[in-house]
Amino acid sequence: MNSTAFFISLSSSWRLFAILTANRDNLIRNSIVEKGNTEEQATTEIDLLLTIVQNLGRLKLSVGSHDALSHATLQWNLDLQ
């Protein structure tokens, strides 16, 4: 059994937004390769994700793998103020 994991807890969504924005081109390419999306579809998908994250509150992201299977958990608390 081989396991890896990491955890990110962000007090506000702007930090995650900054990370995702910095990796936008890579995320688009990944969507094209892994999902078979066209560039337009992948761009729309990632830009929607960025828009959602930009408008969220506290986020908690856990990512890991176990026996070559990846898993991710995203928890967020929406700030309605």
User: From the CB of residue 65, how many other CB atoms can be counted at a distance below 10 Å?
Assistant: 13
Structure tokens at 14: 């702007």
CA atoms of 61 and 73, how far apart (whole Å): 6
pTM over 0.75: no
What share of the chain in percent tops pLDDT 70?
Answer: 74
CA atoms of 11 and 58, how far apart (whole Å): 5
pLDDT bracket for residue 8 (50, 70, 90): low
CA atoms of 20 and 49, how far apart (whole Å): 9
pLDDT at 59 over 80: no
